[in-house]
Amino acid sequence: MNAIPSVDLRDYISRDPGKKEKFVDEIGSAFENIGFVALSGHFLSEDLIEDLYSEIKKFFNLPQEIKKQYEIEGIGGQRGYTSFGKEHAKGRKVGDLKEFWHFGQYVEDDPALKVSYPANIEVKELPNFNKVGKETYKMLEKTAKFVLRALATHLNLQETYFDAYIKNGNSILRPIHYPPITEEPKNAIRAAAHGDINLITLLMGAHGRGLQVMNHRGDWVDAIARPDQLMINVGDMLSRLSNNKLKSTIHQVVNPPKEMWGSSRYSIPFFMHPISEMPLNCLENCIDQEHPKLFSDITAGEFLNERLIELGLIKKEA
């Protein structure tokens, strides 16, 4: 496949059984073949998107000494600020050419779980930053819930299979700033080739060139969404759960042409994670003689911990 398929979530949440079935078929086929889809009809308003971009640009424009105050040691970058070049892709030593912020879960009705997650960090210089971030988080989480319901149907599971696992899940909203490139990068690109850890990723900001997806032939395909669309892809957790029926596709963010080095790029992925206890054991209905079990049993929490060590964000315990 050389193009990213498009789907409209309004078809799924309509009361028309035919449209709903069409959406399930289209997103299921896209995720089996290339692992990416461009989705319109989500729950983000134009005003909220505009407000979010305004707030994150204000934050990344703050002096570095102020931003560094929000880089919290000892939590693996799970909340607050992560400075330029600190994260690298699995298997690479060179840091990506980006800085970013993390908003985390706003736990409801579960005091014990609330204590187990790091607290969200308040940016005192920007009075609307956290309010806008929380509202965006909630709308993307709501969108992801319906996408996962469609995928549960596609996998012949109960439609609400994922609901209990994603309620208060360890999801992350990550506004990313790729600063202007000032000199020829040495072996570094804005985000090196990688697969995502989580169940699904919902990406805002894939409107210009930069994001590329590797198809089954090993070719890099430009993944460009319309301004009203989110780019959504399968993560490694969902790939494991479905015994690779749904594909977690390798993707990257390449450096722009030299004439565009002077411009910043912003993207805002929402990484939908379940609660740590969710088993990622391959579903029985995804295993047969032609598709033997590919992955060992593991929980979402154990898998996440392994990957954060590989990414250099937390240290392995001795």
- Tell me, yes or no, whether 317 lies in a domain: no
User: What are φ and ψ of residue 129, in 5° steps?
Assistant: -55, -50
Q: What share of the chain is helix, strand, coil (3-state, %, to 5)?
A: 30, 15, 50
Per the structure, the count of domains in the chain is 1
At 2-29, the pLDDT tens digits run: 578 999 999 999 989 999 999 999 999 9
Within-domain flag for 318? no
Query: Which ranges in 14-84 belong to alpha helices (H)?
Result: 17-33, 46-60, 64-68
- The pLDDT tens digits for 110-166 are 999 999 999 999 999 999 999 999 999 999 999 999 999 999 999 999 999 999 999
The pLDDT confidence band at residue 305, using thresholds 50, 70 and 90, is: confident
Contact 265, 247 (CB under 8 A): no
Q: Is 315 a member of any domain?
A: no
CATH of the domain at 42: 2.60.120.330
Give the domain extent around 69: 6-310
Q: What is the pLDDT of residues 26-57, one digit of tens each?
A: 999 999 988 899 999 999 999 999 999 999 99
User: Does a structural domain hold residue 166?
Assistant: yes
In whole angstroms, how far apart are CA 134 and each of 57, 107, 121, 258, 294?
16, 12, 11, 36, 37
Separation in Å, CA 67 to CA 18, 58, 124 = 50, 11, 11
Look at the chain and count its residues. Answer: 318
316 falls within a domain: no
Q: What would the pLDDT profile of 74-116 be if each residue is shown by its tens digit?
A: 777 789 999 876 554 455 444 567 899 999 999 989 999 999 9
